[in-house]
Amino acid sequence: MAGTDRTRARVEEDGPQITLVGPQLGENIGASARAMLNCGLTNMVLVSPREPWPNEKAAKMSSGASEVLDRARLFDGIGAAVGGLNHVYAATTRTRDKTQRVVTPRRAAEEMRRAMAAGEPVGILFGPERSGLTNEDLQHADTVISVPLNPSYTSLNLAQAVLIIGYEWFHAGAAVEPEVLLMHATRPANKEELGFFLARLERELDAAGFFHVEDMRPTMVRNLRTIFQRANLTEQDVRTLHGVVAALVRQRSR
């Protein structure tokens, strides 16, 4: 089920959820709000900002974009912040030693337009100013957005990263045909449903002694999450996978 017409209209109007993970300085939150509004984006989410919120320096820096700050929502974990989304992107300049889908901002913008036109909420994660997103943060994303810039000098600040990705979003315009993914009586799973399944899988694997080398656990968990993130699961798929796990585990009690 795609959203209702009203949900869809609101989702498209606000644009992707710009999710600032652990932003350090209020000024940068304010500057990001300006960058967002320049691009017609108004849906800001803050995950554990370092400074208290609301923040005066953010307000001061946002000049004219207070409507974005006023509506910003606060969460203390990425999981909760992206729970209602169908697709999560992560903006990063570093490459990682893991297998993950990587797209340019332009490609991401087209994909996001298409998803949102179908009523599927989308979000983008931006990491803290100095350190960027951790590998753990990246587990919440389906796709990495890598901004093509001079490889020997990349010094984008937070608001600039928001600006470039937002610019591509705005540029892509609303006139993108929704991609017809054949979904019969189903819809894309949201992150909460996916997270619920992954947690169950990990629990069962734990009980089965799968993580017998404790040092390897984080890597194994990440690999598993990545596999199922990449699959673009529908809500029906997630139910099927629950059935699979249940069936395999049930054998034990026979």
Size of residue set near a copy of itself by CB under 8 A = 79
Q: How many CB atoms lie within 10 A of CB 167?
A: 16
User: For a copy of itself, which stretch binds (CB under 8 A), given 21-29, 72-80, 116-124, 232-240?
Assistant: 232-240
Cβ(123)–Cβ(17) under 8 Å? yes
145 contacts a copy of itself (rule: CB under 8 A):
no
Q: Pick from 164, 170, 191, 162: which is nearest to 23 by CA?
A: 162
Give the C-alpha separation, 132 to 126, whole Å: 7
Q: How many CB atoms lie within 10 A of CB 102?
A: 14
x/- letters, 199..218, toward a copy of itself (CB under 8 A): --x--xx-xxxx--------
Taking CB under 8 A as the criterion, which residues in 65-104 touch a copy of itself? 65, 95-104
Taking CB under 8 A as the criterion, which residues in 234-253 touch a copy of itself? 234, 236-237, 240-241, 243-245, 247-253
CA dihedral over 115, 120, 121, 125, signed as positive or negative: negative
User: For a copy of itself, which stretch binds (CB under 8 A), given 19-27, 29-37, 82-90, 123-131?
Assistant: 29-37
Nearer to a copy of itself, 118 or 144 (CB): 144
Taking CB under 8 A as the criterion, which residues in 122-141 touch a copy of itself? none
Give the C-alpha separation, 160 to 79, whole Å: 25
- Report the residue from 90, 163, 194, 198 that binds a copy of itself according to the rule CB under 8 A: 163
- Based on the number of CB atoms within 10 Å of its own CB, is 99 exposed (0-12), middle (13-18) or buried (19 or more)? exposed
106 contacts a copy of itself (rule: CB under 8 A):
yes
Q: How far is the CB of 4 from a copy of itself (least distance, A)?
A: 26
